[in-house]
């Protein structure tokens, strides 16, 4: 990819809008909304904006170990992960991402499934 998706889609300002729209969907989700009942949403949105920016080739990085620690206590399931992925795909599409670029982002998320899900999840 000659131009990072981060630049192609407008950098942090654009990613921030996408992440806010994504969390509107997440909070409304019957599958995963309850995970966020007592979460500091502005802080989470900031972290998620940086994470998505990193996936798009932006100037931030997140180690697999950091992802593991952040999600370790949540006992997330594959169904939870799939719901997050689905909602992110919707959000990206609604913000003008081309289908092939959505596939790239989702494959980057999928590559981190084992780090995000707790050990022993089926």
Region of 84 (left: φ > 0; alpha: ψ -120 to 50; beta: rest) is alpha
CA distances from 43 to 21, 36, 90, 98 (A): 15, 12, 23, 28
Select from 90, 94, 80, 78 the least CA-distant residue to 34: 80
Give 99-118 pLDDT, tens digit per residue. Answer: 999 999 999 999 989 888 86
Q: How far is CA 85 from CA 2, 3, 65, 113, in A?
A: 25, 24, 20, 10
In the structure encoding, which two tokens stand for residue 2, read together?
């000659």
Q: Are 6 and 58 in contact (CB under 8 A)?
A: yes
Q: What is the pLDDT of residues 15-30, one digit of tens each?
A: 999 999 999 999 999 9
Q: Taking the complete model, does pTM exceed 0.75, yes or no?
A: yes
- Structural domains for the chain: 7-116 (1.10.490.10)
């Amino acid at each position: 990819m000659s131009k990072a998706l981060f630049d192609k889609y407008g950098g942090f300002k654009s990613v921030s809008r996408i992440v806010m729209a994504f969390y509107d969907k997440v909070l409304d989700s019957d599958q995963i909304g309850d995970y966020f009942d007592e979460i500091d949403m502005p802080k989470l949105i900031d972290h998620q904006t940086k994470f998505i920016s990193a996936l798009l080739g932006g100037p931030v990085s997140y180690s697999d170990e950091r992802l593991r620690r952040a999600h370790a206590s949540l006992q997330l399931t594959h169904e939870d992960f799939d719901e997050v992925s689905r909602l992110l795909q919707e959000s990206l599409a609604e913000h003008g991402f081309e289908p092939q670029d959505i596939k790239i982002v989702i494959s980057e998320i999928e590559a981190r499934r084992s780090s995000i899900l707790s050990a022993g999840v089926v």
